[in-house]
Amino acid sequence: MSDIKLENKPDGFEGPGFFATSLDQIVGLARKNSLWPLPFATSCCGIEFMATMASTYDLARFGTERISFSPRQADVLLVMGTIAKKMGPILRQVYEQMAEPKWVIAVGACASSGGIFDTYSVLQGIDRILPVDVYVPGCPPRPEQILDGILRLQDLVHNEPLRRRNSPEYKALLAKYEIE
């Protein structure tokens, strides 16, 4: 007997031989289960991510096993580690090279807030230079916490309206970061 949990079908209307739902729901379901992460790992939290990818925690269970090291073939930027201010423009360039729709997870205290490195040279959180969708706390976060961050992001992706990326609110968010 299999204990594989199948994805629930979206809300909709069904009858003999048909099922109807909205395009938003179908696209959200597909996007949610086929996220392509780009790991931007600079220090210790990156090692936790490696453990998350390995067989014990097996990130592939959530459809995210296709790791990309090209921003053009990724839709989730996972930032793991201390980001020095000098590295900020590079991180930002990677983000800008990703196509929409794209999402960002700040993994660990350093990426979220600078962590213990309250110094002149360290960026005090990547949300100073790009919008973040999910923050994973911890120094380092355990693989379970990284998995939880992925699941939280899946919820966001599943419920994101197709029009959000063209909305004035989203454009205002990007404008705040001076991203065109």
The least distance separating ligand SF4 from the CB of residue 65, rounded to whole angstroms, comes to 23
Please state, in angstroms and rounded to a whole number, the distance separating the CA atoms of residues 165 and 157: 12
> Does residue 87 touch ligand SF4 according to CB under 6 A?
no
Binder among 59, 98, 105, 109 for ligand SF4 (CB under 6 A) = 109
The least distance separating ligand SF4 from the CB of residue 150, rounded to whole angstroms, comes to 17
> Does residue 104 touch ligand SF4 according to CB under 6 A?
no
Identify residues 22-81 at the interface with ligand SF4 (CB under 6 A): 43-45, 81
The least distance separating ligand SF4 from the CB of residue 140, rounded to whole angstroms, comes to 3
> Does residue 82 touch ligand SF4 according to CB under 6 A?
yes
Q: Which residues bind ligand SF4 (CB under 6 A)?
A: 43-45, 81-82, 108-110, 115, 139-140
